């Protein structure tokens, strides 16, 4: 057992105090206002040494710097017109597909055969519809997630023929883009994704002349729906160019309607504010809960309205809850890296919690990217002999990125180089640029359905707390985002035990505390099959929950939410691995929210209730600084 030694720890006012840290750790302690001096390693390779014995011609530093600056400026300018997508990356993917298809006469013949069969199917369907007065069964069914053509009006002539032809055409292009011999998997996924985006533009649901529901509404209202839609478009455009949030978000004010659970900011540094929430029960579990949210968005998705706040639910169950609120980075924060987020974020918060609730271990929980960072921090703690944690919980957080879903379409060397040049000029990745990538992943739901309902139907979708939170986006520092994409997404260093934290690699297999993991069925950001891989990366006890919903709505799953259900199964420490499909068949089904399941799991690993700790630790220097939600979450 490693001995615990004494070193410095953080205070909420930027000072330092003595507190126990494991193994005499020497990681730097950053205080409010400090800047890190680390720089990104050069991403462009150095020239090869001469192999011929001839002298090497060396360019001057000024000449090299000028050339690189010109290249980066050109790429950054192009990125603003392509929403951050690299034209060379797309060209490479389409060239790979086109050249291999040109040298695949068998595939070409198969596509011709499929085209003829689909044409004949559509012709027979049209003839049957004309000859019969009853509804004709469709010759092709939409995908389960495609709800564009479910209305009754779409089943009438000629609109049934129009949408059936569109779906057959879409299916043919899917066949054409996939299964071409020799095309790399990455390129196949890219061209398939790009083709789907292009085809969705021409969906009959998007045009007045081919959408029966839209034509009916326009006729009934004498075109007033189009007038309202034009007004909605003008308002949205004015809000976008002026930097204002979407219409309706005014009803969800941070600190009043959302992020309204009572608490105090008891620590602040250059990167985080740490919130301690007030207890609502006479006694609490001695082990506090520290939550590490993602910094891609604001923390309060876990503290939305009072009736669906995970924080409020935990306090009502008798837990002391601490929450990290991340600072929205500015251009001067461009050189903050992943290790800065670990040290100034997770470890700084853990030091403060340990000082306020001394002698008690901590339940640590992380959501999305915050969960990935927390897993890195916990692995580093295990490596260094730090035993301050009682358990680890991961909400929709990936630790292995080999099957990271459609987000991985944007992750290759060409795309990352292009994205880095865009961030290099700005110092960060802007929230609008980040939102564009996520909207393309679900273009039918987030782009075209909005165009139809808001601008053609003239009907504003009702705003709710989750949509208002989704519009409250943040920026990402240049260095951190580059390291995250390269080291985790592209190189998968964490799963391979090559990720360096605090100057030494970490291995998830070192984690021994029990782990609770939540995946969601329709997650397009962290697919549950990918989240499930924690089972073979760790030998610890793992309780895995798969809940209905997506990346956000599946986590915001308060008791009483209609239609919620989940599966759960625990693998004991050093138990045998169960693959995702087998897990799906064996896991127990339960109705309702998974929140009570997690609270029971935490309770089983906690000591009996005791008096609640004070708000902050006055004698340790962690006096309350201001009321929750603090100042960082309110900054633009």
Residue pLDDT, tens place only, 243-285 = 788 889 999 999 999 999 999 999 999 999 999 999 999 999 9
Q: Where are the domains of the chain?
A: 90-212, 253-360+611-636, 383-401+505-606
Segment among 366-375, 406-415, 453-462 with least mean pLDDT: 406-415
Better pLDDT: 15 or 82? 82
| Residues assigned a catalytic role | 368
Whether this model's pTM surpasses 0.85? no
409 confidence band (pLDDT: 50, 70, 90): confident
pLDDT given for residue 14 in this prediction: 43
pLDDT given for residue 10 in this prediction: 41
Better pLDDT: 65 or 245? 245
Contact call for residues 526 and 547 (beta carbons, < 8 A): no
Percent of the chain predicted with pLDDT > 90: 63
How is residue 529 written in tokens? 């099959």
Task: Please name the residue that has the structure tokens 């060409």.
Answer: 414
Give the C-alpha separation, 169 to 119, whole Å: 9
pLDDT given for residue 80 in this prediction: 64
Give the C-alpha separation, 307 to 169, whole Å: 45
Burial 98-112 (b: 16+ CB within 10 A, else e): eebbeebeebeeebe
Kindly report the average pLDDT of the chain as a whole number: 86
pLDDT given for residue 79 in this prediction: 66
pLDDT given for residue 57 in this prediction: 57
Task: Please name the residue that has the structure tokens 């800047």.
Answer: 35
Better pLDDT: 524 or 534? 534
pLDDT given for residue 40 in this prediction: 42
Other C-beta atoms closer than 10 Å to the C-beta of 233 total 14
Mean pLDDT to the nearest integer, 141-163: 91
Segment among 193-197, 244-248, 616-620 with least mean pLDDT: 616-620
179 confidence band (pLDDT: 50, 70, 90): very high
**184: helix, strand or coil:** coil
pLDDT given for residue 134 in this prediction: 80
56 pLDDT more than 70: no
Better pLDDT: 426 or 113? 113
Segment among 104-108, 199-203, 347-351, 406-410 with least mean pLDDT: 406-410
Distance between the two ends of the chain, CA-based, in angstroms?
46
25 pLDDT more than 70: no
Burial 565-575 (b: 16+ CB within 10 A, else e): bbbbeebeeee
CA dihedral 314, 590, 308, 624 (to 10 degrees): 20
Segment among 73-87, 137-151, 212-226, 391-405 with least mean pLDDT: 73-87
Give the rounded distance of the alpha carbon of 97 from its chain centre: 29
Give the C-alpha separation, 88 to 120, whole Å: 39
């Amino acid at each position: 057992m490693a001995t615990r030694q004494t070193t410095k720890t953080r205070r909420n006012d930027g000072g330092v105090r003595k507190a126990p840290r494991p193994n005499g750790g020497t990681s730097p302690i950053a205080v409010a206002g400090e800047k890190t001096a680390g720089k990104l390693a050069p991403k462009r390779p150095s020239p090869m040494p001469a192999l011929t014995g001839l002298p090497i011609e060396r360019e001057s530093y000024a000449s090299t710097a000028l050339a690189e600056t010109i290249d980066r400026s050109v790429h950054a300018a192009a990125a603003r017109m392509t929403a951050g997508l690299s034209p060379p990356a797309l060209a490479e993917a389409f060239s790979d597909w086109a050249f291999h298809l040109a040298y695949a006469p068998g595939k070409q013949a198969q596509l011709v055969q499929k085209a003829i069969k689909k044409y004949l199917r559509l012709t027979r369907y049209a003839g049957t519809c004309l000859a019969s007065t009853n509804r004709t069964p469709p010759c092709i069914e939409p995908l389960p997630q495609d709800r564009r053509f479910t209305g009754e009006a779409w089943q009438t002539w000629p609109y049934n023929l129009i949408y059936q032809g569109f779906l057959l055409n879409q299916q043919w292009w899917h066949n054409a883009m996939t299964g071409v011999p020799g095309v790399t998997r990455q390129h196949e996924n890219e061209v398939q994704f790009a083709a789907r985006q292009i085809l969705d533009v021409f969906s009959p649901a998007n045009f007045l002349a081919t959408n029966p529901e839209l034509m009916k509404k326009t006729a009934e209202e004498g075109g007033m729906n189009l007038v309202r839609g034009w007004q909605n478009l003008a308002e949205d455009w004015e809000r976008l160019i002026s930097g204002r949030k979407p219409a309706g978000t005014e009803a969800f004010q941070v600190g009043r309607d959302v992020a309204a659970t009572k608490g105090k900011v008891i620590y602040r540094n250059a990167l985080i504010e740490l919130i301690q929430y007030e207890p609502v029960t006479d006694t609490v579990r001695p082990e506090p809960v520290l939550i590490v949210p993602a910094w891609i968005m604001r923390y309060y998705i876990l503290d939305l309205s009072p009736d669906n706040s995970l924080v409020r639910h935990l306090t009502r169950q008798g837990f002391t809850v601490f929450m990290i609120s991340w600072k929205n980075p500015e251009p001067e924060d461009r050189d903050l890296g992943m290790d800065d987020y670990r040290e100034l974020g997770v470890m700084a918060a853990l030091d403060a919690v340990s000082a306020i609730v001394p002698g008690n271990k901590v339940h640590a929980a992380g959501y999305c990217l915050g969960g990935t960072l927390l897993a890195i921090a916990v692995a580093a703690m295990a490596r260094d002999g730090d035993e301050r944690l009682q358990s680890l919980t991961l909400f929709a957080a990936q630790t292995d990125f080999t099957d990271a879903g459609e987000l991985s379409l944007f992750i290759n060397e060409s795309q990352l180089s292009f994205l880095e040049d865009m961030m290099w000029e700005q110092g960060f990745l802007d929230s609008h640029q980040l939102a564009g990538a996520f909207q393309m992943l679900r273009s039918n739901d987030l782009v075209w359905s909005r165009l139809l309902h808001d601008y053609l139907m003239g009907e504003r979708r009702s705003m709710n707390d989750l949509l208002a939170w989704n519009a409250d986006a943040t920026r990402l520092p240049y260095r951190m985002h580059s390291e995250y994409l390269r080291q985790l997404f592209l190189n998968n260093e964490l799963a391979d035990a090559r990720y360096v934290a605090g100057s030494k690699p970490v291995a998830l297999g070192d984690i021994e505390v029990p782990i609770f993991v939540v995946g969601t069925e329709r997650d397009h950001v962290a697919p549950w099959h990918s989240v499930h891989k924690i089972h073979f990366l760790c030998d610890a006890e793992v309780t895995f929950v798969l809940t209905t919903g997506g990346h956000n709505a599946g986590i915001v799953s308060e008791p009483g939410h209609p239609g919620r259900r989940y599966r759960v199964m625990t693998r004991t420490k050093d138990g045998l691995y169960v693959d995702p499909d087998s897990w799906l068949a064996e896991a127990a089904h339960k109705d309702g929210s998974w929140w009570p399941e997690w609270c029971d799991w935490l309770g089983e690993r906690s000591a009996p209730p005791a008096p609640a700790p004070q708000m902050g630790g006055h004698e340790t220097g962690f006096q309350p600084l201001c009321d929750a939600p603090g100042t960082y979450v309110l900054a633009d």
